[in-house]
Structure 1
């Protein structure tokens, strides 16, 4: 109707103009001759309505169009963007990955980090529409010819996230749609999801300040670069503080809006997915999974498969050569490009971290399968281009690095990876290395490391993060394969390293003592890593299916893990003391004793190693905190042995139990360590030459905090449940009553020795009484374990501790302590000790008889 109105008014204006001109020309003539009666006007033709449906191709994609050909041909006509989508793309799976290109400062988010990923499909709809669906791969049926396949489809409708008018058709082989508003808008799949918006306190998009920078297409992917501006959640005004989700970005407070740049990659997934390699809990790989419904099966199955790159021979001839034991180059190698924004002096070390994996791939039969390559500012390669894997360098004060991957959810095939490298990870490396090795390595006894030492530290972390991007999980059990005394053997460490996997959080060799002469402190690609790469990347030319490969791999795995150095230990085990972060060796008690000896050597030197004229003692405070943190790690390593259970993944064709209780002697040794190194006051931490420069306090509360945290951990509900259960199953096992006895005897040793009780011990003893008293009326606790065959996740059970032996044992030990204090009080001469015992006695009485 708007078009019709415009046409009518235009015709009227034209008639008036023509009439005026005619009047001027015939003015004289009209004075002499009477005008004749005008002929009736011809009826006006009705305005033509635009044709419904697509226009001709040239009407939409005009000569002005700037075109980029690729996965989806992209046309820009004036300020509008059009996608030309081939019919052959309909129904194809396309992975979308959205990353920040530029971010607002101060939010802990950085350019290059992933925002969103999702599989989508184009689909023709009714009335000349194209639909874009978001695909959630949760259930599947392996055979599309069977009736059950239709049932699966009926139970997995996918949401439509975009509806587009088909503007034009090209030879009936492709459809043209306009995507301008869609991509510059706030569609969740291509923008921030609601959780991230809450965390950043971001609200609605501002269309007038949001636009598409460019869209470029390549053979297998299309890249969309956008700028989006968001309003922010209005600050609440309240006199009382109200807990709120998220934090405002500095730009939010300064300008009231936030502007960010995003890059979305749309990459076509292979028409035929890569053959799956089924997940095995005995080897540590990331995995994907979905439920499958087979026509002949009597139940739904969960198909769990490994995440890995596709490495294949170039041809059959190469496959035969590889079978004969020759190394061959893969059809497509794994290449990581180094971000040109990386400082020049560190680039070679990041590259070396990639290249270090070549030795593992060679053992799997591949030559030149993985490498790092440099990029220069002149290279046209876009760091956001989904065809390329990149090590991105972030100017950030975060002390970390990370190594994700983008993979095909149908098969586990890794498509690309963007490793994130934060500038301040070097600070973390400096602190770790100094605190763990300075007793034995003179190179680390300084505030700023030499470039070569820092470069080697960077190389180690680069290798670790690359390991994640080729599919490897953390192997926290690797270090437990090394006997503790071997860590002090210079020749053995030089040959084998202090852990069998660079994927362990084993960091550096803190066990070696200065007199040992050890000079090799770094992790390296180890025996486990080499075996794990063989498991995932060896090409089995004769295997006809994933099931056949699984059978072959099972035999290889059973043989390999006879060697403890090739075993995997999950990073999520809640109760196996062999699987821990930052620990070393097969004996946490001995290793931690050695570690504490080195901390006692390092601590007095911190003022000298951190000094800089004209600077405050901030550096000293940071290093002291790192010493305390390392000490607390040792305590945690030992504590996990108490109530511990070994969890060794096994299959039906292997002998032995999956779950075994940690031996009683080992648990007793752990408690003895804690009594000696924690509950006996660790006075070595109270170095006055340091504390009087960094803290007005003398360390009393700091020591109490460490001891209280340890005691709470030892008497945690889930640990108590394990100790009660395993203790009742065999008299040979350590039990909860024995733990309480060992703790009480040590923490309250002054009752027998008749020594004065100093302030540190008085605090600890009050902590003990309060903790045990709380167990008289305990609440609920959660016990967890990893289900058999699972890649991640826990099975959990809630336990009501009031209905267990825990309150009974706690009451018995409070009664015994009460009796011991009554006997000791008359013989106590120290005034503060007497005050203390009288107070504690009353607390026990109140706990035992609250209504008295």
Structure 2
């Protein structure tokens, strides 16, 4: 008998070993499959086949009993062994736990209260598994983005095509001789920079902060049957350089962060069925690419993120759920806000009743002596934190990345959302001076738009941990909310019939606002995205009619960003904020949660399609974060009503009234004048914001997510009617460009003093102290003018001429002529008196001249027709200037004459330069 060569045996064993560790990927819900537990494959985990890799160094490991001696054993999903003397924690992994999917959730338990380092903010969520490789245990993040159905040969190719991520290789400390359980030192994992905080600290704090092992240690550690909870306290030290001044730290050379790690199992739940998403209804998504069905037009499968709700009585039209969604109000929440928070959570039960569930959501109060922590994944909590600059609320949820099932949620609310703070318009001007920003980006100022949108605008920029993690959940409000709150309160105070707002009115305002904020965040935890068409339910004249708002509702959706419903002057004040979830919210919950009763996937799709087709109802209008970047006048944050043009004009009148009353009511006796300066800025920001809403009508168009064949459906794009565009231009002429658009008394302007406190809580102004009124007005006017004449807007106007019937579009010539007539009135329509152009008007006219000159000289990226029109308008203006100087040259003040002659000279040079270039 011939002996088999050793190299052949080696190759055979190698191939056998490689086959054993191949990944078997299984995937849920194919359309033609029945919706019954045995056939869905929804909860078949992605598994690695069991491997046991022996090593000659096994004998060199420490003895198991010796290693765990003098430790406290905490039994749970993973057993923990804690040695108080050495401050070590060992984690025990059983053989059957290798290569099995688990969830790791990382939460910042304590921060520093500024620059993104806030208590309660989620940091990471991973689907991971432990894999043994010789005497190391790998912490591996599962790749769930690419799948194939069981039995498909492509399962094998996916294993080779796409990689999991081995984040850590942990040395095995010991192996039990009989049970073969593995011990690792958790310090090798959870006392390292596991969540990736170091680059974030460097970016956010602008300092070279490094993790200091001598200052890092474990806090609490708990083990439960379905999860383990471990707290790591990280000490960071400034390694070099000075770093930024951080007022929330006593010394910026060192800081401490507490991070909570939750390792939990995915519950086997054969009755949960993923639900397919529809772009007409706004849900967060769990998405993967399915290689099993090449005939499908779209290879991506998208599930909505939702909770698993089942009726106790499936046959009853209204039934309590088997397991309700329970939120716990953290014991750190101030007592005076707990009732409003409770009511905000319970608002959603009305929506769930439409889906067939009674009392689907419940609220409990966390006891002061609770033996559990708010970050424990077994509890859904509403958490309260304090910061210097947070001003946000957030409603993230932990989701099964295979199916989209929401497993738990924690809402975090910054106390700043109910604090009264002011917006410094002067700082907004300084930050954007000389920059060509869009009106939207300028208005954002120090605020935020959801990172889920903004962080994709530049793939190359360094992104923070927090912004990366916000990709599946919208971070809400930010500094914009504080600006909005400031104008809310100021409007209530100044436009109220009484000189001082009554305390009960202010309490009702605060309670209504907090109820809405909580309802908004709960909506996120239920899977819902923002709906920035949510405020379009009522006409302006209906907003303060409580007979309407208490029955039909104030808004379509609480998932919008809503300003206070500030009544127009002379109109009795109605509800400040919605007192119930909107009709869109009820419809969206019906889509996500109403049981279909379907056995087959095709029947479920028909059931969902019938619900989604109702999206053409104007009361169910939907637009989300990415939609507000377009010139869509009915998709905004902080607007109100179905007629934003009328609403915004009302708010501009309110702003003018507030400016007029500021001088009479502020400051009160004994108060600093700096408060008046802050309030003046607050009104300026409100004015600017509503002007922006109006500009979106010029070249604007609505975008709809309707599908072909939807009942009463619209085409995807619908241009703003030309009459509305002309009306918007007329409003801008009156409130922005007119000679009398901004009029303030000298007495008021001389009261606008800055704060002179010199401490860490104030940004002391050491240069110009008086209010830069010219700079502020010119900033607003030039920003609006630049936006109206931007290349993007001019291109859209030109395109809309092709998309609209004849004479039903605002043309480029009409826009240029209208703006010129408004800005150069003194020259184009001079009266018989001596000509005098104010300093504010001269600045605006120079801005107009700069815009058109840039087009002619090709320094701006605009359509060629716009360049031609700019050349033509400059020629026309040159002729008008010649005539005005000829007729009124001896009757002008020196300012005006110098301005007009210099303008004429600049036009001549620009036209000559353009001809020479050609």
Q: What's the TM-score, normalizing by structure 2?
A: 0.78
Matches within 5 A, 1:134-145: 134-141=141-148, 143-145=149-151
Shift of 1:196: 4.2
* Corresponding residue SS for 1:214: strand
Q: Which residue of 1 aligns with 2:622?
A: 568
Q: Which residue of 1 aligns with 2:413?
A: 421
Q: Which residue of 2 aligns with 1:751?
A: 827
Shift of 1:541: 2.5
Q: Which residue of 2 aligns with 1:846?
A: 909
Shift of 1:375: 1.3
Q: Which residue of 1 aligns with 2:59?
A: 52
Q: Which runs of 5+ in 2 are unaligned?
A: 1-55, 421-481, 754-769
Whether 1:183 aligns to 2:196 is no
Residues 247/328 of structure 1: CA separation in 2 closer, same or farther (3 Å cut): farther
Tell whether the 8 Å contact from 2:544 to 2:575 is kept in structure 1 after alignment: no
Q: Which residue of 2 aligns with 1:22?
A: none
Shift of 1:58: 3.2
Bigger shift: residues 105-114 or 215-224: 105-114
Tell whether the 8 Å contact from 1:199 to 1:247 is kept in structure 2 after alignment: no
Give the whole-Å Cα distance in 1 for the aligned partners of 2:519 and 2:498: 22
Whether 1:815 aligns to 2:822 is no
Give the whole-Å Cα distance in 2 for the aligned partners of 1:459 and 1:689: 41
Tell whether the 8 Å contact from 2:230 to 2:260 is kept in structure 1 after alignment: yes
Q: How many residues align?
A: 761
Residues 278/572 of structure 1: CA separation in 2 closer, same or farther (3 Å cut): same
Bigger shift: residues 162-171 or 460-469: 162-171
* Corresponding residue SS for 2:913: coil
* Corresponding residue SS for 2:535: helix
* Corresponding residue SS for 1:501: coil
Residues 161/723 of structure 1: CA separation in 2 closer, same or farther (3 Å cut): same
Q: Which residue of 1 aligns with 2:360?
A: 369
Matches within 5 A, 1:691-770: 691-695=749-753, 696-697=770-771, 699-730=773-804, 731=806, 732-755=808-831, 756-770=836-850
Shift of 1:566: 1.6
Shift of 1:553: 1.3
Residues 272/588 of structure 1: CA separation in 2 closer, same or farther (3 Å cut): same
Residues 561/802 of structure 1: CA separation in 2 closer, same or farther (3 Å cut): closer
Give the whole-Å Cα distance in 2 for the aligned partners of 1:50 and 1:97: 33
Residues 729/360 of structure 1: CA separation in 2 closer, same or farther (3 Å cut): closer
Tell whether the 8 Å contact from 2:174 to 2:184 is kept in structure 1 after alignment: no
Whether 1:211 aligns to 2:240 is no
Tell whether the 8 Å contact from 1:392 to 1:420 is kept in structure 2 after alignment: yes
Shift of 1:191: 4.6
Shift of 1:770: 0.5
Give the whole-Å Cα distance in 2 for the aligned partners of 1:432 and 1:457: 13
Shift of 1:473: 1.6
* Corresponding residue SS for 2:262: strand
Counterpart of 1:264 (choices 256, 261, 264) is: 261
Deviations 1:801-825 (A, max 9, x none): 4663232222222122212222222
Deviations 1:170-203 (A, max 9, x none): 5866623222332343243x35162444323343
Shift of 1:543: 4.2
Give the whole-Å Cα distance in 2 for the aligned partners of 1:337 and 1:446: 34
Shift of 1:430: 4.7
Deviations 1:595-616 (A, max 9, x none): 2222233333335655454331
Q: Which residue of 2 aligns with 1:783?
A: none
Counterpart of 2:679 (choices 623, 642, 646) is: 623
Deviations 1:65-103 (A, max 9, x none): 312222211112453322122333333322222222222
* Corresponding residue SS for 2:750: helix
* Corresponding residue SS for 1:320: coil
Q: Which residue of 2 aligns with 1:350?
A: 341
Residues 309/442 of structure 1: CA separation in 2 closer, same or farther (3 Å cut): farther
Larger Rg: 1
Give the whole-Å Cα distance in 2 for the aligned partners of 1:682 and 1:386: 59
Give the whole-Å Cα distance in 2 for the aligned partners of 1:686 and 1:249: 38
Give the whole-Å Cα distance in 2 for the aligned partners of 1:410 and 1:251: 40
* Corresponding residue SS for 1:805: helix
Shift of 1:422: 1.4
Give the whole-Å Cα distance in 2 for the aligned partners of 1:234 and 1:55: 39
Deviations 1:548-600 (A, max 9, x none): 43321111221x33431122122322122111111122322221222222223
Give the whole-Å Cα distance in 2 for the aligned partners of 1:450 and 1:251: 30
Give the whole-Å Cα distance in 2 for the aligned partners of 1:726 and 1:396: 47
Shift of 1:673: 1.0
Counterpart of 2:128 (choices 102, 120, 123) is: 120
Residues 456/661 of structure 1: CA separation in 2 closer, same or farther (3 Å cut): closer
* Corresponding residue SS for 2:203: helix
Residues 51/518 of structure 1: CA separation in 2 closer, same or farther (3 Å cut): closer
Deviations 1:776-801 (A, max 9, x none): 24468xxxxxxxxxxxxxxxxxxxx4
Shift of 1:441: 4.9
Tell whether the 8 Å contact from 1:98 to 1:191 is kept in structure 2 after alignment: no
Q: Which residue of 2 aligns with 1:825?
A: 885
Whether 1:836 aligns to 2:828 is no
Residues 197/90 of structure 1: CA separation in 2 closer, same or farther (3 Å cut): farther
Bigger shift: residues 468-477 or 129-138: 129-138
Q: Which residue of 2 aligns with 1:383?
A: 374
Deviations 1:397-438 (A, max 9, x none): 333322222222222222222222111211237524224545
Tell whether the 8 Å contact from 2:662 to 2:676 is kept in structure 1 after alignment: yes
Give the whole-Å Cα distance in 1 for the aligned partners of 2:599 and 2:904: 73
* Corresponding residue SS for 1:572: helix
Give the whole-Å Cα distance in 1 for the aligned partners of 2:95 and 2:781: 68
Shift of 1:462: 1.5
Residues 229/724 of structure 1: CA separation in 2 closer, same or farther (3 Å cut): same
Shift of 1:722: 0.7
Matches within 5 A, 1:589-608: 589-606=645-662
Whether 1:359 aligns to 2:350 is yes
Whether 1:676 aligns to 2:714 is no
Residues 173/303 of structure 1: CA separation in 2 closer, same or farther (3 Å cut): farther
Give the whole-Å Cα distance in 2 for the aligned partners of 1:295 and 1:542: 22
Q: Which residue of 2 aligns with 1:499?
A: 555
Tell whether the 8 Å contact from 2:245 to 2:252 is kept in structure 1 after alignment: no
Q: Which residue of 1 aligns with 2:26?
A: none
* Corresponding residue SS for 2:221: strand
* Corresponding residue SS for 1:372: strand
Give the whole-Å Cα distance in 2 for the aligned partners of 1:146 and 1:157: 19
Q: Which residue of 2 aligns with 1:402?
A: 394
Whether 1:73 aligns to 2:128 is no
Shift of 1:277: 1.9
Give the whole-Å Cα distance in 2 for the aligned partners of 1:663 and 1:330: 48
Bigger shift: residues 213-222 or 711-720: 213-222
Give the whole-Å Cα distance in 2 for the aligned partners of 1:276 and 1:509: 39
Matches within 5 A, 1:310-325: 310-314=308-312, 318-321=313-316, 325=317
Give the whole-Å Cα distance in 1 for the aligned partners of 2:402 and 2:530: 23
Give the whole-Å Cα distance in 2 for the aligned partners of 1:442 and 1:262: 50
Where relative contact order (Cα < 8 A, 6+ residues apart) is larger, the structure is: 2
| CA RMSD in angstroms, aligned pairs only | 2.8
Q: Which residue of 1 aligns with 2:227?
A: 221
Residues 184/68 of structure 1: CA separation in 2 closer, same or farther (3 Å cut): same
